[in-house]
Amino acid sequence: MSSHVRTNHLAALMERAACIKEMLQQGVKKPYKDVIDVSWGDPHRAGMKPLTFVRQVLAACLYPQLLDGDNFPVDVKRRAQKLLRWCDGGSVGSYTNAAGIPEIVESVAEFISQRDGVPADPENIWIQPGSQTSLGSILTLLVSSEASPKRGVLVPVPGHSTTSLSVTALGGALVPYFLDEEHGWELRADELRRALASARGACRPVALYVINPGNPTGHIQSRKSMEEVIRFVAENKLFLLADEVYQGSVYDSNSEFVSYKKVLHELGPPLAHTLELASFHSASKGFLGECGLRGGYVELLNMDPDIMPYVQQLFNLVTCTPVTGQIALELMAKPPQPGDPSYPLYKQETEHMKCTLLDNVKRVQQVLKRLPAVSCQPVQGGAFAFPRLHLPLKAIHKAKEAGMQPDMFYRARLLEEAGVFVSPGCEYGQKEGTYHIRFCIMTTADTMEELLRRLSAFHLQFMKDFS
């Protein structure tokens, strides 16, 4: 099925979800009282509450008159006053430097340095409206519609669909490499070599894109896998693009997030001083979940000095990132610390979120394990579960008659009959003959329990209908 047809189906289902929501609001009777939309990696959309400290600082920055009262803790007031001093005219409505407010860029550099134990140079960091914008900017440097042969980017399957769309829109070629589902969605060096060999004659690969923790797969790369990736990139003179936006969301006690920059540093020279790396992070993910504020950054490492003027020129094309998004990054990089008046509530809220997500992951894996014809690799991190559907032939044939991918067909029925709105695996890529759905696990406990109840009942009936 063409990507155009698939996009049309996706748009139609989004419209249908909106239509069902409106019907329910008007009192139309359905077997469910609302639509549970877990198709986005958006914690607030899925019902998670914003952090009080973040919203208090933002409120005070947007309406400084609030600083005159006694409604906010003293550390909130001090932080807001400091942030406003960094803004021209003392207002978040002013333009900032293209790279971001210098003091906030410094805070991001300190955050990276503390995370990795490796100094980060603020001159190599740019704040942009979200990590995908940053990634698109770097891809613009690497991929050109005028290049002959086409320049290729190795992308994971399954993987974030927006990145693939960006590559093709810029005139580049996608070089897919498959994650190993049977081994927890592991990224294998031999698969990278196969993918690279398959591109010979079709394009000139220039970059490798990795997502860690994985989206939609929820896997976390081992250090051994990361070292193999770095050596592969170096041997083949590729640029490494590391999407690390879910680094704060780790659920598996036997796994840990380690940045590519840290692993590269620990491998030492010559790799540490030569391999070109762009790493991305965002205030949208993790506990902040501030997707709508649009704040992300990219850090560049070992860039060719001859290329840096073009980098500067490219990033300067964006007037500036929304100041509210920059503030969100500052608060992510420098949250309340023990002894601060806001710290007890901040700790309570983040611990509650952490416990909720751990319980959600546990419940998802318990429930999916019990369902017939469903398998799901462990959700080690990130925002999503990505279960595989082992659909009956009758269902597959019925989907083809309807002109739909089987997992798109399953998703449409799930929405219509159970009021649960998920994403189909075909949106992210998957091996031929396999079918998946993706849903966000960053929800409240009650929402997750209701989602799993509806999904289970629907799935059992679906299998009965098509067995």
Q: Inform me whether the pLDDT recorded for 4 exceeds 80.
A: no
Q: Is the domain of 62 the same as that of 179?
A: no
Instruction: Provide the b/e sequence for 320-336 (b: ≥16 CB within 10 Å).
Output: bbbbbbbbbbbbbbebb
**Statement to judge: residues 398 and 439 lie in one domain:** yes
Structural domain contains residue 182: yes
C-alpha torsion sign, points 440, 441, 447, 452: positive
Judge if 138 and 179 occupy the same domain. Answer: yes
Q: Is 10 found in the same domain as 74?
A: no
341-357 pLDDT tens trace: 999 999 999 999 999 99
Tell me: do 280 and 157 sit in the same domain.
yes
Which of 237-251, 300-314, 322-336, 429-443 is least confident?
300-314
Section 235-262 average pLDDT: 95
Strand partners, 281: 297
| Nearest one of 371, 332, 366 to 441, comparing CA atoms | 366
Cβ proximity of 24 and 264 under 8 Å? no
Residues 297 and 376 in one domain: no
Q: What pLDDT, on the 0 to 100 scale, is given for residue 2?
A: 46
Please indicate, yes or no, whether residues 124 and 228 belong to a single structural domain of this protein. yes
242 strand-pairing partners: 210, 279
How confident is the model at residue 17, as a pLDDT? 87
Q: How confident is the model at residue 8 (pLDDT cuts 50, 70, 90)?
A: low
Look up residue 110 and give its amino acid.
E
Residue 142 lies in a domain: yes
Q: Is the pLDDT of residue 133 over 50?
A: yes
- Domain that includes residue 73, residue range: 54-93
For 9-27, the pLDDT digits (tens) are: 667 888 988 899 899 999 9
What CATH number should be reported for the domain holding residue 183? 3.40.640.10
Whether the pLDDT of residue 72 is over 90: the answer is yes
Output the pLDDT for position 311: 84
Answer yes or no: do 161 and 40 share one domain.
no
Phi/psi for 282 (5° steps) reads -155, 155
CATH number assigned to the domain comprising residue 460: 3.90.1150.10
Is residue 341 domain-resident? no
The mean pLDDT of the chain is 93
d(CA 151, CA 452): 43
Residue 202: pLDDT over 80:
yes
| pLDDT computed for residue 467 by the predictor | 86
pLDDT at 1 over 60: no
CA distance 327 to 100: 10
Does 396 map to a domain? yes
CB neighbour class for 14 (10 Å; exposed up to 12, middle 13-18, buried from 19):
middle
Do 200 and 315 share a domain, yes or no?
Answer: yes
Residues 262 and 306 in one domain: yes
pLDDT tens figures, 14-70: 898 889 989 999 999 999 999 999 998 889 988 899 999 999 999 999 999 999 988
Quote the number of domains for the chain.
Answer: 3
Q: How many CA atoms lie within 13 A of 202 on its CB side?
A: 15
379 compared with 308, residue with greater pLDDT = 379
What SS3 state is found at 154?
A: strand
User: Is residue 338 a part of any domain in this protein?
Assistant: no
Looking at residue 247, what is its pLDDT?
94
| pLDDT score of 313 | 83
Shared-domain flag, residues 321 and 456: no
Q: Has residue 75 been placed in a domain?
A: yes
Q: What is the pTM of this model?
A: 0.94
Which of 278, 279, 281, 280 minimizes the C-alpha distance to 303?
278
Q: Are both 145 and 238 inside the same structural domain?
A: yes
Domain boundary (274, 306, 333) is at 333
202 inside domain: yes
Report how far apart, in Å, the C-alpha atoms of 170 and of each of 10, 115, 142, 242, 277 are: 23, 33, 10, 19, 20
Whether omega for the bond prior to residue 270 falls within 30 degrees of 0, making it cis, is: yes
Residue 88 sits in a domain whose CATH number is 1.10.287.1970
Query: pLDDT for 77-123, tens place per residue?
Result: 999 999 999 999 999 999 999 899 999 999 999 999 999 999 999 99
The percentage of residues in the chain with a pLDDT greater than 90, rounded to a whole number, is 81
Considering the domain boundaries, does residue 34 fall inside one?
A: yes
Q: Please tell me the predicted confidence (pLDDT) of residue 307.
A: 84
